Amino acid sequence: MKPRLLVVLAAFTLAGLAATSCSTVDPPAATVNGVDIDRDEFQDEVERLAENLRESQPDQDPLGEGAGTLQADFVRGELRDRILDVIISEELDRRGRVTTDSDLAFAQASTATDEFTGVDQDIVDRKLAQRARLVALAAALIDLAGWDDASLQALYDADPTTYEQTCVSHILVATEAEALAAKERLDEGEGFGALAQELSTDTGSAAQAGALGCLGADVNLVPEFAEAMVAAEVGVVTEPVETQFGFHLILVTDRSVPDFATVRTTIQQRLVQEAGPALQDFLGTAVLSADVTVDSRYGAWDPTTGFIVELGPEAPATTVPDQGGGGASTTLAQP
């Protein structure tokens, strides 16, 4: 299973950044806290990316209805991603945190295998470098040294019991009387698995002889069941336990702490769940306080949402500069 950091943070997935000095001919595409995003470089990349996607991923076609035009939302989304990347880069610099090979590896592992099909390699490299900055900041916000094995192993070694797993089976019936009758049959020597297949109303686990699998502490169970499972002795069937689903007879078959290799993915997924809200909170605050201006041909920056919005009818026409020179422009198709 791929790490889900970029899924959890899909709203903040980044495209390429070009932070350069302002052109003497054209204004920048945007300026973020005094850092310019060069318009010519941005426009060149967004046009190449659009053509790449049109040819290789027709369902993602970002071209506009008119000849030589691009979908407005596509262009604004690419520019927004660059703006967010400037904000992220500045925070990494403030913290003295640099991206590492493990950040880049995690960014690559978190990217769908077909996302960059047919996209020019320099664009792919730029986007992955930016995603590496994203995951680097996510780690920093939860005081994680990195996404590499050494950092994850250190967390595991600090308290391995956190990752204890309990292998458990149950028989679920509707009434306490049925549960007591089943318990009596077990006490008389009938097999737990066979009885689960015969009696349990939980048909999914009944087909597995009552087995629910080996569960970690982070599994969401109803409280009454979870408490009884934790208290149960290995190999000893509990007395009937009532929950909203009925009455359970619970059998813990094993309780152990797996080695690091077994729970590495679990550790990473827990950290992703912790890092997601932390990163969203940071960006929500940082976007509000950032000094952002956007070239009016692309729209206007809305700090309350962190998006580039369409200008009203009284504003200048929204256009995208033609890279052929001569100051001509191509109308940016409105959504």
Question: Which domains, from first to last, does the chain contain?
Answer: 5-150+264-331 (1.10.4030), 165-256 (3.10.50.40)
As a 3-state breakdown, the chain gives helix, strand, coil percent values, each rounded to 5, of 45, 15, 35
User: What is the reported pLDDT for 58?
Assistant: 78
The CA distance from 124 to 103, in Å, is 16
Task: Tell how strand 19-20 and strand 35-37 pair up.
Answer: antiparallel
pLDDT greater than 80 at residue 133: yes
Joined tokens for residue 122: 């320099």
Joined tokens for residue 271: 């950290």
User: What is the reported pLDDT for 282?
Assistant: 95
Average pLDDT, stretch 320-332? 34
The CA distance from 283 to 91, in Å, is 10
pLDDT greater than 80 at residue 23: no
Are 273 and 8 in contact by the 8 Å Cβ rule? The answer is yes
Are 50 and 74 in contact by the 8 Å Cβ rule? The answer is yes
Per-residue model confidence as pLDDT tens digits over 40-54: 999 999 999 998 988
Per-residue model confidence as pLDDT tens digits over 56-77: 877 777 766 665 678 889 999 9
Are 151 and 145 in contact by the 8 Å Cβ rule? The answer is yes
Number of H helices, E strands in the chain: 11, 12
Record the pTM.
0.70
Nearest to residue 8, comparing CAs of 268, 304, 285, 301?
268
How many other CB atoms are there within 10 angstroms of residue 311's CB atom? Answer: 16
